[in-house]
Every structure is written in structure tokens, then in C-alpha cells.
Amino acid sequence: MTNLAFGLTALAVLGLLLFTPFSRSPLWRATVTPLASIIGSGFLVSAPLLAREFGGYAAPAMALLIVTAWALGWTIRYNIRVVEPLLKEGGDKLLSSVEEISHLVLTFAYFVSVAYYLALLGQFLLASVGHPSDTIARAIAIALVVGLALLGWTGGAARVARLERYATALNLAVISGFLVALALHGAGLISAGQSVLPPAGKASLASLPVLLGLLIVVQGFETTRFTGADFPAATRIKAMRYAQIVSGLVYVIFFLLLSPLYGDLARGSGVAEVITVSALVAPALPLSLAVAAMGSQLSASVADSLGNVGLIREITHGKIDARHGYTLVGLIGTGILIATEVTGVIALASRAFALFYALQALVAFEAARKRPGETARSVAFLALAMLAAAVFFFGTPAG
């Protein structure tokens, strides 16, 4: 019954996202990139880490991450609406300088995120065949990042990136089916007289840096900031808002429905433990989740590498072309993977993006403080810059 419900739900959502007029609308095309980046495989990664660190408080911890991401998204939306026109005018040198520094930081963040996505892909691949190994997963990730660099060198990355729409649709379809399967699993436990309540919650000040180190799992909304060539500001702002609302709801519902399995997740040792534990819900889930997750990670890594190469070319004023940009992606990505454990890559990626958000919040602060009637808003932006800076300085790996 659960297998059937999962399959029917996944097929229905896949059809909706690929074959309806809605799927071809400009708003959905603008929404799909940030939504794919935010939702990706973050729910698979965050569940075991938060279950181990927070126990029954995992869902509130995730909700806190989502609220933090929403506030940072508000900052980016302000910059799309207000700061972009100011930057085009070019009269404010301080504003332009902080913006350019944030682009340098984002370049490094993209280097880390490509390594992050491919490290997870290796973990998911091994989890799907029942042979988890951090060493082999790292070797797979290094091979993939080298392959991605070679693909970019030959000009093939742009063609692979066109598959993002299909990878995102598949991932969202599988997630939707998984939520339905979890709901049926919970209903079955209740009907059998078993508890669906989460285990006892646990939290301490030492847990806060771990939570901050997971910002990467709700990151991705900022991608709309750099799609101005394809969509007007109003569409990008609306798309980011929708992407954050949908992904936030998915995360919260997922963590609530997953409550009966927190104990099993906490006993696991890997970031891909959800794939293993999902077999307790329905036999079809582990392979389905692994395939969708691997497709999502590959698509996201290609998309981020494309964005990074574009930023490198822009920052260097064309002195580093696309082919050499991909060489940097391969070299730096390989170095990160060799030097860092998977949970360390997650925390490093979170800190890199947090620094970008801190600089973007400072850009918003600088713009707002000069606008009449926006004193309170400028103070809020400054507070968000300090919060993002705290993530940068104090975010740590879990476990």
C-alpha cells in the first residue's frame, strides 16, 4: 500500500512539473533554480545530523534555520529591488566596492558548494548499494570534480546544465511521494497503538554552532540575484519568495513526519542515513531517494560550476576564460575534498555562504541608511549582517 501511494504521488507530481502549462510559465522557470538549490538533498543531509544533535528538538531546530534563511532572503530581495538600480547608476563607490567583495566571496563559496554536492553524491551512491564508506565516497567525489572540470574544458557543462529542469522535477516528485509514505507509515503506527512522538529533545549552547554549520542546507535563494538577464526584478523577487515558502513547508512537514524514526537516524553514522532508514517505511524508497538525490547533486554541481566560471570571468574582466575557470574548479574542489571530511565540507560551505550573506546585508544596510524613512530597516540589515558573521565565525561540523 505504501509503495503504491509513493509511486502514484511521485508520478502525479512529476507529470505536473513536466507536462502542464504551469511548468512552462516564466514564474516557475524563475522559481525552479532557487528551489532546486534550497531543497536539493538538504533534507536527507540535515535529518540525521539534527536527530543526533537535537533529538526530539530536530524539527524546531530546522524551523529556526528556515526563519534565518527567510530573513537573509529578505535582504537579497531588497538588494534586487533597491540596490541593483543604484549599482547600475554607479554613483556610490562604497556600495559598489562591498558588492564586488561579496562576489569574490561567492566565487569561493561556489568552489566549496561544488565539492559539497559531489561529496554527497558519493555518499548517496554508496548508501544505495548498502556499502557506506567515507574514503570511497571521497574518491568518487574527487573523480567527479575532475570529470566536471574536463567536461567544462570541452564545453559540455552547459549542455548538462539543461537537464536541471528534469532533475529538479524528479527530486520534487520523489520528495512528495516520500512525504505521503511517511504520513501512511505514521498512520499505521497509530492504528497499531504505537507512539509517533519524537524522542526526548536535547539542546545546549554547544549545539548552536552545529546548527549554524547547517545553513548550507537551506541556502540557494540567492541564485535569483544573478538571473537579471533572464527575468525582471519583480519576477525574481516573487520566485525567491515562493521558493523559500515551498522549501520551508517541505522541510517542516518532513521533520514532523519523520519524528518516529529519529531514534534510528541518530544511531546511524553517515549523512545519507535517511536512505537506509527509509526502508523501514517502504521497500521502494531507498533506491528512489538515492537516484533522485544523485541526480539533484549532479545537476546542482554543474549549475554552481557554471555560475562560478561566469563570476570568475566577470571578476577578472575576462582574463581567466571559461576553460581555465573550470581548471580552477577542478583543482580547488579536489583540494577541499582531500583536506576535509564530508561534515566539514558542509560546515565550510555554510560559512562561505554566510560571509556572502553578511556582505550582502552590509550592502543593504548601506543603501537603506541613506534612504528616508528606512532607519529601522537599516538597523535590521545590520543585525542580519552580524548574525551571518556569527555563522561564519562559529559554524562547526556535526559529530
CA dihedral 87, 91, 93, 98 (to 10 degrees): -20
pLDDT exceeds cutoff 70 at 160: no
Taking phi first (over 0 means left), then psi (-120 to 50 degrees means alpha), and beta for anything else, what does residue 155 get?
left
- Stated as kind and residue range, the H or E segment containing 287 is helix 285-315
- Cα-Cα end-to-end distance for the chain: 36
Write out pLDDT tens, residues 320-379: 888 888 889 899 999 999 988 877 887 888 888 899 999 999 999 999 998 998 999 999
pTM to 2 decimal places: 0.88
State how far the Cα of 377 lies from the Cα of 388, in Å rounded to an integer.
16
Residue 385: pLDDT band with limits 50, 70, 90: very high
pLDDT exceeds cutoff 70 at 54: yes
User: Do 246 and 261 contact (CB within 8 A), yes or no?
Assistant: no
pLDDT exceeds cutoff 80 at 248: yes
State how far the Cα of 42 lies from the Cα of 63, in Å rounded to an integer.
14
Q: Which residue has the higher pLDDT, 74 or 119?
A: 74
Q: Of 133, 260, 240, give the one whose Cα is nearest residue 185.
A: 260
User: Do 168 and 35 contact (CB within 8 A), yes or no?
Assistant: yes
Q: What is the mean pLDDT of residues 59-70?
A: 93
Neighbours of 257 (CB within 10 A): 21
pLDDT exceeds cutoff 60 at 81: yes
User: Do 354 and 109 contact (CB within 8 A), yes or no?
Assistant: no
Can you give the pLDDT at residue 157? 67
pLDDT exceeds cutoff 60 at 399: no
Distance of CA 155 to the CA centre of its chain: 26
Q: Which residue has the higher pLDDT, 395 or 26?
A: 26
Question: What CATH class has 2-394?
Answer: mainly alpha
Q: What is the mean pLDDT of the chain?
A: 86
Q: What amino acid is encoded at 177 in this protein?
A: G
User: Do 281 and 248 contact (CB within 8 A), yes or no?
Assistant: no
Residue with the three cell numbers 497503538: 193
State how far the Cα of 174 lies from the Cα of 178, in Å rounded to an integer.
6
User: Do 306 and 86 contact (CB within 8 A), yes or no?
Assistant: no
Can you give the pLDDT at residue 334? 92
Can you give the pLDDT at residue 161? 64
Identify the burial level of 211 via C-beta atoms within 10 angstroms of its C-beta, where 0-12 means exposed, 13-18 middle and 19 or more buried: buried
pLDDT exceeds cutoff 70 at 175: yes
Write out pLDDT tens, residues 22-46: 888 888 888 887 887 788 767 788 8
Q: What is the mean pLDDT of residues 121-147?
A: 85
Can you give the pLDDT at residue 292? 85
User: Do 275 and 124 contact (CB within 8 A), yes or no?
Assistant: yes
User: Do 223 and 37 contact (CB within 8 A), yes or no?
Assistant: yes
Can you give the pLDDT at residue 209? 82
Q: What is the mean pLDDT of residues 170-179?
A: 90
Q: Where are the domains of the chain?
A: 2-394
Residue 75: pLDDT band with limits 50, 70, 90: very high
Q: What is the mean pLDDT of residues 180-194?
A: 91
Residues near 135 by beta carbon (within 8 Å), at least 6 away in sequence: none
81 DSSP 8-state letter: I
Q: What percent of the chain has pLDDT over 90?
A: 32
Q: What are residue 55's DSSP bridge partners?
A: 201
321 DSSP 8-state letter: -
Cell of 270: 553517515
Identify the burial level of 130 via C-beta atoms within 10 angstroms of its C-beta, where 0-12 means exposed, 13-18 middle and 19 or more buried: exposed
- Mean pLDDT check: name the lowest of 8-22, 94-108, 121-135, 246-260: 121-135
Write out pLDDT tens, residues 262-294: 888 887 766 678 888 888 898 888 888 888 888
Q: Of 20, 63, 80, 383, give the one whose Cα is nearest residue 218.
A: 63
User: Do 350 and 116 contact (CB within 8 A), yes or no?
Assistant: no
Write out pLDDT tens, residues 110-123: 888 888 888 888 88
pLDDT exceeds cutoff 90 at 389: yes
Can you give the pLDDT at residue 304? 79
Q: What are residue 201's DSSP bridge partners?
A: 55
